Each structure stands twice: as structure tokens, then as C-alpha cells.
């Protein structure tokens, strides 16, 4: 894992994304989905920042909102000194050269009517960065970089396995030589045997090209392997953020403790002594989240104050942030 020089590349300030719920003949708004609710963090240049949580907690929405694929309801996203929320049209298009995304589903994220060469070369055409002969040359170079044969360029996505398609997605993301890539659960749709290959490829590319990753996942062991710092999300909010070792050895929030207790340890002696925390009940609806602390309906430590007051997002130790009344 590369050392960070502690220069902040991306800063997210109080980011909010709500989706309106429309109903009736006149399509009036009757509610909203609180997909992302007031999250703040930063990513250092050259590091991998992990974002974890259960399915439906808002991780992917946060990633897409950071890249402005969804426009935020409120909040700011600074890439170096530029506020992406204020950019529109051509300015935003130019900025996209420096930020890319690897999507979760390698089956849905590639156009079945385009060849692999056309898919990887499309960003170069859209941003007018190369002509036809140069594009072919660059596509061959990118295919080799992600360990695929140059002969794959004229073939179509349906001819490839899931792992190969995800490599094509990675090649497409690298086409414009970006500084920052959001990896949105890039291995969750792949076989376990292929997952390690894709992770090793991402690590090698980071080392070669000095890339910065925001790695979104629900596999905590994979995030531990890859990330230098980790943020934990629950029902649209950030509940804990710390360096990798600090979070895995000293989790403070009850939700983080429950998540980590579910990760198996490959030592039968240690595994037998560990206490498993089983959360009761279901995740509440993001349409009508609980008052106060959102985790209180499932929290074993919940008290009266948890229902009455929203816990403050505070730094309890150097670079260790948590939102919990009980800590």
C-alpha cells in the first residue's frame, strides 16, 4: 500500500442526497428517501479510503453523488480546491477526466452492442484526447495493463467471463489517466477465485500510477486488506471513521463492533473464544428514519437520550471519529 503524503485530494462536507417520492395524478411529493444524510470525510492523495456498511446504507449513492452523477441535495464536494457542486456543463465534463468510477455489476455496466475496443476507447473520443489510430494503440496498451489479450478488442462483452468484463471496466476507467477512482463494490459480483485477481490488479495499478481510491464494499476483510482508513455507514449516515488498524482493533460504535464480530477469523482457537454480536430487528426504512440516533432501534446499548438527540460527530482520538452517545 503506497504511503500517503497527507495532501487532501478529496473533501466531502455535509453531503446530503434525498430522492423525492412522488404520488397522485399531479405527481406531488409525498416524502423522500434519506439516501445520504450529512456525511463528511476527506481522502488523502495516494491512499485507499474504504467505505463499508450493509446493503442499502447509502454507500453507492454517496459515491455517485461525490462524482456528481447524482446532484447532491446539499453539501459540498471539493476535488483539490474545486467545488464540484458548483460546476456545470463543460467545466464538469473537463473535471471528469480526473475522476472515474468502476461500477459494481460488470454485466450491466458495459454496452452489449459495442466491442471491447469501442468501450475502452469511448472516453478518449468523448474528451477528444486521441484520433482513431492513437485510440487503437491506447486500447491495446490498456488491455495489456489489465492483463487481457490485445486480440480481445474486436469482441463483444457477452463473450467474456465476469472477471474479464470487470477488467474491461477497469481499463475504461483508466483510459483518461485519472487521479481518483471510485471502486463501487468492484468484486461483489465475481467468483471468489476471481476476486483476488481483481484486487491484486487494483493494487498494482495504484502503485504504478499513483492512484487514489474510494473503495466501497461490504466485505470487511477485503477492506482491511486494501484500505488505509475506513468509514462505516449506517442508514445514510457515517457512524465511525478511523485508520484501518485503529478501527479493526478498537471499534467504538456498537454497529462497527457488530459488523466486525461477523467477520470469521482463520484461527479456530480465537474463533471459539470470540463473542458474536447478533443485531435484533431489521434496518429501518430510509423514507422514515428513527429520531435521534438511527441505530438505536437495533442497538444493545440504546438509552433514552438516543431517541431524543442526534449524536454529535466528534473526534474521540487522533483521526478516530464516532457518532454515539455511549462512547
Report helix, strand and coil shares of the chain as percent, to nearest 5.
Answer: 35, 25, 40
Q: What's the CATH code, domain 8-267?
A: 3.40.50.300
Band of pLDDT at residue 4, cut at 50, 70 and 90? very low
Is 312 exposed, middle or buried, given 0-12, 13-18 or 19+ CB atoms closer than 10 A? exposed
Residues of the chain with pLDDT > 70, as a percent, come to 97
Q: What is the pLDDT of residues 298-314, one digit of tens each?
A: 888 888 999 889 999 99
Region label for 147, one of left (φ > 0), alpha (ψ between -120 and 50) or beta (otherwise)? left
Q: What is the mean pLDDT of the chain?
A: 88
pLDDT tens, residue by residue, 115-130: 999 999 999 888 888 8
Tens digits of per-residue pLDDT, 263-276? 777 767 766 677 77
pLDDT at 58 over 50: yes
1 pLDDT exceeds 50? no
Distance of CA 232 to the CA centre of its chain: 11
5 has a pLDDT exceeding 70: no
Q: Report pLDDT for 62.
A: 94
User: What's residue 271's pLDDT?
Assistant: 64
Q: How far is CA 317 from CA 14, 53, 176, 221, 326, in A?
A: 21, 22, 39, 23, 15
User: With 60 as the cut, is the pLDDT of residue 257 above it?
Assistant: yes
* DSSP-derived secondary structure letter, 218: S
Residue 27 is predicted with a pLDDT of 87
pLDDT above 60 (res 3): no
Amino acid at each position: 500500500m503506497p504511503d500517503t503524503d497527507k495532501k487532501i485530494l478529496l473533501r466531502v462536507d455535509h453531503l446530503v442526497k434525498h430522492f423525492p417520492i412522488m404520488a397522485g395524478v399531479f405527481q406531488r411529493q409525498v416524502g423522500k428517501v434519506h439516501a445520504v444524510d450529512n456525511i463528511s470525510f476527506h481522502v488523502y492523495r495516494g491512499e485507499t479510503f474504504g467505505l463499508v456498511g450493509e446493503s442499502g446504507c447509502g454507500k453507492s449513492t454517496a459515491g455517485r453523488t461525490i462524482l456528481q452523477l447524482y446532484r447532491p441535495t446539499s453539501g459540498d464536494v471539493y476535488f483539490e480546491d474545486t467545488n464540484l457542486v458548483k460546476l456545470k456543463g463543460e467545466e464538469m465534463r473537463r473535471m471528469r477526466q480526473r475522476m472515474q468510477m468502476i461500477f459494481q455489476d460488470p454485466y450491466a455496466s458495459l454496452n452489449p452492442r459495442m466491442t471491447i475496443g469501442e468501450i475502452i476507447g469511448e472516453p478518449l473520443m468523448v474528451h477528444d484526447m486521441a484520433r482513431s489510430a492513437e485510440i487503437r494503440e491506447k486500447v491495446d496498451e490498456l488491455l495489456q495493463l489489465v492483463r487481457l489479450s490485445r486480440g480481445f478488442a474486436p469482441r463483444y462483452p457477452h463473450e467474456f467471463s465476469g472477471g474479464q468484463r470487470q477488467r474491461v471496466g477497469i481499463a475504461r476507467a483508466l483510459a483518461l489517466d485519472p487521479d481518483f477512482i471510485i471502486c463501487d463494490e468492484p468484486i461483489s459480483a465475481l467468483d471468489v477465485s476471481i476476486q483476488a485477481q481483481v484486487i491484486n490488479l487494483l493494487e498494482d495499478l495504484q502503485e504504478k500510477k499513483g492512484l487514489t481510491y474510494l473503495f466501497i464494499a461490504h466485505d470487511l476483510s477485503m477492506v482491511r486488506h486494501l484500505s488505509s482508513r475506513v468509514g462505516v455507514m449506517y442508514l445514510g449516515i457515517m457512524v465511525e471513521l478511523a485508520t484501518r488498524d485503529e478501527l479493526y482493533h478498537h471499534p467504538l460504535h456498537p454497529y462497527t463492533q457488530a459488523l466486525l464480530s461477523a467477520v470469521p477469523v482463520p484461527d479456530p482457537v480465537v474463533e471459539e473464544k470470540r463473542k458474536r454480536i447478533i443485531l435484533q430487528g431489521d434496518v429501518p426504512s430510509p423514507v422514515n428514519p428513527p429520531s435521534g440516533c438511527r441505530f438505536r432501534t437495533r442497538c444493545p446499548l440504546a438509552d433514552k437520550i438516543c431517541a431524543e438527540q442526534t449524536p454529535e460527530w466528534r473526534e474521540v482520538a487522533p483521526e478516530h471519529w464516532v457518532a454515539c452517545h455511549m462512547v
